[in-house]
Amino acid sequence: MSPSTRRQVIGWGLAGGTMTIVGAAGLWWGSRPQGVPLPPQGPPAADGSTAGDGTGPGTWAQPQVLASADGVLELDLEAAPSTVTIGGRPARVWAFNGSLPGPTLRVAPGDTLRVRMVNRLGEVTNLHVHGLHVSPEGSGDNPFVEIGPGESRDYEFVLPDDHPPGTYWYHPHHHGHVAEQLAAGLYGAIIVQDLDPVTVTRERVLVVSDLTLTADGDLAEPSPRERMMGREGRLVLINGQLQPRLEVAPGERERWRIVNACPSRFLRLTLEGQPMRLLARDLGRLREPVGTSTVDLAPGNRAEILVEATEGTSTLVAAPVDRGAMPGMRGGRRPGGTGPVDLLTLSVSGNQAQPPGDVSLGTAPRDLRGQDIARRRTLDFAMGGMGGGMMRGDGAMMSFTINGREYDAERTDVGVRAGDVEEWTLVNSSPMDHPVHLHVWPMQVIDNSEGAQDEPRWVDVVNVPAFGQVTVRVAFEDFTGRTVFHCHILDHEDLGMMGTVEVT
């Protein structure tokens, strides 16, 4: 991939390549046949959703929004088998509160989020609030919790008063089952509100996910090859829908909060014919929106974009991304597939709307480059060799390791002093990209495949390209406790590419 520029590509150092929905025996796609008209769509509601139940091909709907009141949001969140409609056909998935995605949780800095998590699955699960800067201990964002079938657990997440605004998300994080449970449908968005609102006509939440179904509408089991590569579902959805259609008026400005909730799929998003400005990535706003034609999202990344509606019809497309291939794999589909994916259609027509006012400047992001570094570490993400991993196509065993070791929940891999700023060099010695996620504490990217960063870039998932490296700095502040860092190709995490960090 060529280096990004402020006016062209905003990304996390993804490599070029391929991805698509492709045909295969025993799988159905549910996409709208040529020539079949889209169902009518009502006017946008206050939350940006539109009329209709979201069950027919082409309809637009957003998840239910649950917002805090008086500084608190309390809810029950049930993980259970559910039947939903995808592309006009029934699909048996796993879902939070029976919807795909689960409800969107809207809170503000300083709020308390209380969740009673109920497990109606046939296996152990738990809950991770991805990207939130909250305590990892006890009833907080604790990845070591196990909620057995039929059991429940009360979580409490207390956001600091200065928590960065942004788009975050939640999903299960029980080691060994993370990719399976996410791919089955267990995910939802979290919004931390801006204290200084952005002037837009409306907001929309776009949760991008993928899954594979059998001809009967059941969840398909991934092959060992797909697990080693990182599974990519054959259906790519937005808010649980196939290729929905949006209708807006020229001159309107929309804020799209986009979540990549795919277990392994990288997204390179384009919206030809419509001006886009990047407002935020992962957490916090940019100082000012940046014009862009492409937005890259590794698994787990989020982005907020401003779409300035111009008359005409445009398609949000996920262009191909080649994230490498497994050693010893002969033949078959490379991760990413073979072509682009149409995600939604934006139709802009009607009377010219009054354009919203200017977007105010965001708060200048913190910069750790001038601070003292307590310790520098190198973490090597690797695959291969004889180990306790999975069987490769040639019969050998494949291991997924960090610094030569597979994950062990009983072992602490990195010990940090509370309040320290550390610099981590994330090395990828394998032929596949590894998007690295650190729980609780965000990372400032110092140097990556594009070179040294001119401005502070804060993320909680940073892609480390095949045979490349990225340098980040982390301020281990506000909380103590034990949590994890891992590859967010979630099959790789389940197979051992995860480590523990303890702050004391």
pLDDT tens column, 400-411 = 999 999 999 999
Place of tokens 């993928």: 210
Query: What φ, ψ does residue 491 adopt, rounded to 5°?
Result: -65, -40
In this structure, are residues 289 and 359 in contact, taking their beta carbons and an 8 Å threshold?
yes
Return the biggest CA–CA distance within the chain: 65
Q: With CA atoms as reference, report the closest residue to 126 among 83, 182, 168, 74.
A: 182
Write the CA distances from 121 to 46, 126, 372, 502, integer angstroms. Answer: 34, 11, 47, 30
Rounded to whole angstroms, the Cα distance separating 318 from 316 reads 7
Q: In this structure, are residues 69 and 109 in contact, taking their beta carbons and an 8 Å threshold?
A: no
Q: What pLDDT was estimated at residue 418?
A: 97
Task: Extract the tokens encoding 102.
Answer: 């689960």
In the block, residue with structure tokens 């027509």: 349
Q: Which of 131, 153, 69, 55 is nearest to 99 (CA)?
A: 55
Model pLDDT, residue 394: 44
The Cα–Cα gap between 393 and 229 comes to: 11
Given a cut of 70, the residues of the chain with pLDDT beneath it are: 1-58, 327-338, 385-397, 449-453
pLDDT value at residue 362:
80
Give residue 482's region: left, alpha or beta (phi > 0; psi -120 to 50): beta
205 closest CA partner among 303, 84, 311, 278: 303
pLDDT of residue 140: 97
* Nearest of 427, 321, 406, 384 to residue 14 by alpha carbon: 321
Taken in order of first residue, the domains within the chain and their CATH numbers are: 368-503 (2.60.40.420)
Write the pLDDT tens digit of every residue in 188-233.
999 999 988 899 999 999 999 999 999 999 999 999 889 999 999 9
Q: How far is CA 425 from CA 375, 462, 472, in A?
A: 11, 12, 6
Please indicate, yes or no, whether the overall pTM of this predicted structure exceeds 0.75: yes
If one counts every other C-beta atom within 10 angstroms of the C-beta of residue 53, the result is: 8
Question: What is the model's pLDDT at position 320?
Answer: 83
**Of 380, 314, 323, 305, which is closest to residue 347 (Cα–Cα)?**
314
User: What's the Cα-to-Cα distance from 61 to each of 246, 317, 325, rounded to whole Å?
Assistant: 10, 19, 36
* Residue 32 three-state SS: coil
Position 2 scores a pLDDT of 31
C-alpha 205: how far from its chain's center? 12
Cα–Cα distance, 379 to 131 (Å, whole number)? 21
- At 402, give phi and psi (nearest 5°): -125, 125
Element (H, E) at 257: strand 253-260
Given a contact cutoff of 8 angstroms between Cβ atoms, the answer to whether 191 and 106 are in contact is yes
Phi and psi at residue 239, in whole multiples of 5°?
A: 50, 40
Whether the CB-CB separation of 496 and 269 falls below 8 Å is answered with no
Residue 244 amino acid letter: P
3-class secondary-structure state, position 202: strand
